[in-house]
Structure 1
Amino acid sequence: MHHMHLMKSAALLAMLGLTATSATAQEVTLRFQHFVSPASANPTYFMQPWADAIEEQSEGRIKVELYPFMQLGGAAPNQFDLIRDGAIDGGWVIPGYQPNRFPEAEAMELPFMTTKSAEEASAAAWSFTQDYLMDDFADVHVIAAHMHGPGIVHKRGDSIATVEDFAGLKLRGPSRPATLLLEELGATPIGMPVPQFPEALSKGVVDGGVITWEMSPSLKLNELTDSHTDVAGDRALYNLYFIWAMNKDVYEGMPEDLRAIIDANSGMMASRWAGRAHDTGDVVGRDLMAADGNEIAQLTEEETARIQELGAVVTADWIAEMDAKGFDGAALVEAAQEAVTANIGTDQ
């Protein structure tokens, strides 16, 4: 009886011009993981539209499932290895969450390296990645590389008005370049991934920290901090480098026509798209902080220039440190600067 049923199914499929295998074998579900709220900018304006585009262009043969808040397990700093080892099919990685593992990527994160347009910065990041980082990331399939918008100082109490105001403040930083800058400014930097930031604030472990406007609402910075300070000018105080990547074997194991759909949503186009998501979210986040009555401040050009001088010290120290590790630090900084300059004015 069971055998008859199978034969009938096969006959039906044959009638529809399908075989039992082709109907199912060519369908792929990809589980991508990240570590922030699904309501924050990148998941809302990049990850979800990216997943939708791939599903649509593959006519439903590729399904991308997005898991926020590390729901598939592991911790945010381990994302690269989770993807490499196939624990997840793909996801969002902040290489800087593992200090010293991907040192060359830090060139993009140095003080005042990028403009305040995340889209421009992300175009620069993709270009720099092509030239310097593909060997570092050879164990995964890189889909996009991008930056977020400008990093802002968020703290309890009054805004930062002078360099001296940083003295003794315990401030969260995401990466080595960010914490080196905070230290140079006289603050006490505490490196931590974003999921730990709200709790550290509410427990008084930190007085504030640096992060984007767009992450502020989902981290409840309107409640946990009182003021938000940006630098003057068109350059970001600091920035953070990300990759959107998938497991190499999973990518290579997909049929060629499905791989082509991933490829069509990869590279410079996807990197810009991810950056643009942060630009969109930054406007929304800033408006929400302002609407809640929080102080929105900008340093004067004079104080910004003082911070830039301290930033230049961080960059010089970084170059010396990279040279000691056998890299050409100055060449990396120059390449990052050239990539940024080449993309100024190219955002939509």
Structure 2
Amino acid sequence: MLKKFSLLSLSAAVLASMSVNGVPTDAQAVTLKWHTFIPPVANPSKFYKPWAAKIAKDSGGKLKVKLFWTMQLGGKPTQLLDQAKDGVVDIVWTLPGFTPGRMPRVEPFELPFVHKDPVSTTLALQDFQAKHLGPDLKDYHPLLLHVHAGFLFQTKKPILKMEDLKGMKIRAASRAGVWMLQAFGAIGIGMPLPRIPGALSKGGIDGVTLPYEIAPAVKTQDLVSHFSILEGHQPRLGTNVFTLLMNKKKYEGLPNDLKRVLDANSGRNIAKAAGELWVKIEEPGRKVIASKKKNKFHTIPAIEVARLKAAAGPVFDRWYDEMKKIGVDGPALVKDARAMIEKYSK
């Protein structure tokens, strides 16, 4: 069970975990434009607001990250990767899953039941990035790859067995998630996060696969009534990979002292803090859901979980076929992803 925590102390912990010695003295002031699709009230802001503040502090105010939320700088969530690549903005935080096939080598972590928890999976992603993700990230300077706590069913009708999913229209964030839902008998629909409230309220979808923490941002506490996790040591169906990516030329053009500040607040230096925060922000999201008397929490029994896992087998085969088309050894990537997660789960 997650322990109660203070958001203020949590933010302080994030800041402390991103430490760097000394303050640069030889750099000109630089402001980086950071762009994302979520609103500033969403729980992930509890990571990125302290992160931006820490960079300003460590640089003595000479490197600042200005945060732009909810696509304030224009475009659609599906265009964020290109915005960073083309220099429209300096940094983006987004999901590669919004543009299926764009970064296929990260997808083993999004396949059903591979993920365990956000700390071990995020730490594993750092190893996996160094070994496998060069081709996918060649157009960017990666600052962090991480995951959320894992998605569960959030639906208008209860889900306690696989038959309950038949014909339901359920949103997923990635193609692996869509394929998983199809394998379960549901109608999987890929959809960026901002479109969820309208789709739920107008009947375009019957539910979503999301973690608790993001529920208040898309109002699932009001728009659906049933929340289903899995019995056993792996209570979530899977997760999604998030990428914090910087324009490559912008990074290369920074003075060396500011590069050092950014490097100290990137990658392995902040991965554990990111994983731990995404564990902890589940609790306030769940509390918002529980505050509505209409909402009910369910646990899908182990016998049904086994059926879901068996049904998910073809999802892997489908992904392996897609990887074969681009000359990538899919089974080897999945094997490595599982081994790396297991390494950090011990």
TM-score, with normalisation over the residues of structure 1? 0.89
CA offsets 1:211-246 (integer angstroms, 9 cap, x no match): 111010111111100011111223230210111111
Deviations 1:68-88 (A, max 9, x none): 101011111111110011110
Shift of 1:259: 0.5
- For 2:344 and 2:42, locate their aligned partners in 1 and report how far apart those are by CA, in whole Å: 25
- State the one-letter code of the partner of 1:325: I
The Cα offsets for residues 279-311 of structure 1, whole Å up to 9 and x where unpaired, read as 121111112211212111111111111111112
CA contact (8 A) 1:83 1:140 kept: yes
Structure 2 partner of 1:265: 265
| Counterparts of 1:40 and 1:234, CA distance in 2 | 27
Query: What residue number does 1:26 align with?
Result: 28
Structure-2 residue corresponding to 1:36: 38
Is 1:35–1:69's contact at 8 Å kept on the other side of the alignment? yes
Sequence identity (%): 34
Given that residues 140 and 248 in structure 1 are in contact (C-alpha distance below 8 angstroms), is that contact kept between their aligned partners in structure 2? yes
Equivalents in 2 of 1:47, 1:226: separation in Å? 30
For structure 1, which segment, 193-202 or 119-128, has the greater mean C-alpha deviation from structure 2 after superposition? 119-128
Residues 238-273 of structure 1 deviation map (CA, whole Å, 9 limit, x = unaligned):
210111111111111111011000000111232332
Matched with 1:168 is: 167
> By how many angstroms is 1:63 displaced?
1.1
Contact 1:143 1:270 in 2 (8 A): no
1:70-109 CA-partner distances (Å, limit 9, x unpaired): 1011111111110011110101021111112221111110
Aligned length: 321
Q: C-alpha separation between the residues in 1 aligned to 2:196 and 2:130?
A: 32
In 2, Cα distance between equivalents of 1:131 and 1:337: 14
Tell me which residue corresponds to 1:19: none
SS of residue paired to 1:217: helix
Partner of 2:211: 212
* CA distance in 2 between partners of 1:267 and 1:104 (Å): 18
Match of 2:88, SS state, is: coil
Residue deviations 1:106-165, cap 9 Å, x none?
1110000010x21221111222122111221111110010011110111113x2010000
Residues 171 and 189, structure 1, Cα contact 8 Å, conserved in 2: yes
The CA distance in 2 between the partners of 1:232 and 1:198, in whole Å, is 28
Conservation of the 8 A alpha-carbon contact between 1:232 and 1:301 = yes
**2:84–2:92: 8 Å Cα contact kept in structure 1?**
yes
Letter in 1 for 2:32: L
Equivalent residue of 1:244, what SS?
strand
Aligned to 1:332: 333
Amino acid in structure 2 at the alignment position of 1:94: L
Aligned to 1:313: 314
Bigger mean CA deviation after superposition, 175-184 or 127-136: 127-136
Q: Unaligned stretches of 5+ in structure 1?
A: 1-22
Taking the aligned partners of 2:162 and 2:135, their CA distance within structure 1 comes to: 39
Q: Secondary structure at the match of 1:142?
A: strand
1:36-185 equivalences in 2 (<5 Å)? 36-44=38-46, 46-115=47-116, 117-157=117-157, 159-185=158-184
Written as runs of structure 1 = structure 2, the 5 A alignment for 1:217-232 is: 217-232=216-231
Gaps of 5+ in 2: 1-24
Q: CA deviation at 1:64?
A: 0.8
Q: How many Å separate the matches in 2 of 1:82 and 1:238?
A: 28
- Indicate the RMSD between aligned Cα atoms, in angstroms: 1.6
* Structure 1 counterpart of 2:343: 342
The one-letter code sitting in structure 1 at the alignment partner of 2:138 is A
